[in-house]
Amino acid sequence: MALPDTFFVTPTIHARPVKLGDAEHVVHFRELPALDFKIWREQENSDDAGVRLLAMTNLLVAGVCDPDGSRALTIEQAKLLKPDPMTALVAALLEVNGSTSKAQEQLGNE
């Protein structure tokens, strides 16, 4: 039995508005495989504080892209994000990937 194509990430680039204060910015995101989210959760639960602190930046570097699909952020740039933009970008990335709270909870419990 073959799994449906909808079970797999596509190369589609998704544009999403990200609102910060009074301004709205269009940011592009790629679909990420479940493995990337599992890695993110493992990093967030690491005993190593350095690994935990970089978990969200690593996820954003993987998922935020330019309209052509190329990476839009380096790890150095992601480290310099302010808290509100980082949170808004992660929320949009999760939305693009159809990630609900329940799905994220399940990924964290595997």
Supply the pLDDT for residue 110: 43
Whose CA is closest to 72, among 83, 81, 61?
61
Domains of the chain: 15-109 (3.30.2220)
CA distance 110 to 104: 10
What would the two tokens of residue 102 be? 């329940």
Strand segments, DSSP code E, in 5-78 are 13-20, 23-30, 64-65
63 neighbors 91 (Cβ within 8 angstroms): no
One digit per residue, pLDDT tens: the chain, 110 residues?
Answer: 899 999 999 999 999 999 988 899 999 999 999 999 999 999 999 999 999 999 999 999 999 999 999 999 999 999 999 999 999 999 999 999 987 665 455 444 44
